[in-house]
Every structure is written in structure tokens, then in C-alpha cells.
Amino acid sequence: MKVKDLIEKLKELPQEKSVMCQVVGTSNTTAWNMFFEFQDVKDSDWLVQLRVSHPTIKVLPEVKEQ
């Protein structure tokens, strides 16, 4: 996806709402609300990074399929 495509998709959404980023477990339906930020990758002429993080989760728990 290009930045211009993301902008167009965001324009279609209600502009007064907040954006939430989640990681959702598949088998146990656990969800973690994550922080995210966009950064320009200075050494790249084609890449922008979306960084997703959580202040206390260092490793996501392993989800065991049953």
C-alpha cells in the first residue's frame, strides 16, 4: 500500500473518530490495544514504516491452536 492509498482510505472514514490498533489472538480471542506511529525510513526511497508497540508487552504470548 502506498501512502496516498492510505490517505484515501482514511478520508472515507468519519474524521472525528479515533484510530485503534489491536493485535487479536485467534483461538482465545485475547486482544491487546497497541500504540502505532508512522516513520519515514530515511535510507529508503520507497519505504515508510508503521511501528506497532505496547508499553508493557515485551513478547506476545504464544497462541496454541487446539
pLDDT of the chain, 66 residues: tens digit per residue = 899 999 999 999 999 998 888 888 776 677 888 888 999 999 999 999 998 888 888 776 665 555
**Alpha-carbon distance 48 to 52, whole Å?**
13
So what's the pLDDT on residue 59? 77
- Tell me the torsion sign for CA atoms 48, 22, 7, 1: positive
Spatial distance between the Cα atoms of 48 and 59, rounded to a whole number of angstroms? 24
Residue 25: closest CA among 60, 54, 52, 55: 60
Predicted confidence at residue 62, as pLDDT, reads 65
Query: Around 63, how many Cα atoms within 13 Å sit in the side-chain half-sphere?
Result: 11
Give me the pLDDT at residue 43, please: 94
